Amino acid sequence: MTKDELTTWALANGWTVIAGHPSLTKPSAPKEAVVRMVCKATVVNIEAKKPAGKWEKLSGAAYGAIEPDPETGLPRGLGFTTLQGFRMLMEDNKNRTVFANFGPKR
């Protein structure tokens, strides 16, 4: 997958761009990123924010090593399936994005 394909996938699955990176937020603080996808020239890293505010790299891979899962479309090679609590956080963010469109029109 390329940087553009990963970004498109992320935005379609509940991620939002915060400070220039596709990011996931906590339901209690939807403006502050807790997980982000840092796309560099040849690799992409998944980082989580520690309670002290420092970012810690959880996983990373070269673009060539990342492939979409044929059934779910989830990028394989970044550890999304092995990171504990990650799928739940992604689901919460996706639901919040979807249901935000159903609110009253102003």
pLDDT string in tens for the chain (106-residue length):
899 999 999 988 889 999 999 999 887 777 889 999 999 999 999 999 998 889 999 999 999 999 998 888 888 888 777 766 777 788 888 887 776 666 665 5
Q: How far is CA 78 from CA 23, 41, 57, in A?
A: 15, 16, 11
Q: For the whole model, what pTM was predicted?
A: 0.81
What pLDDT, on the 0 to 100 scale, is given for residue 103? 60
What tokens were used for 8?
A: 């498109």
Question: How far apart, in whole angstroms, are the C-alpha atoms of residue 27 and residue 65?
Answer: 31
Per-residue tokens: 11 = 């935005």
Contact assessment for residue 16 and residue 35, using Cβ atoms and an 8 Å cutoff? no
Angle, CA of 49, 51 and 55, to the nearest 5°: 25
Q: What per-residue confidence (pLDDT) applies to 67?
A: 92
CA distances from 21 to 18, 71, 102 (A): 6, 26, 26
How many CA atoms lie within 13 Å of 61's alpha carbon, on the beta-carbon side? Answer: 15
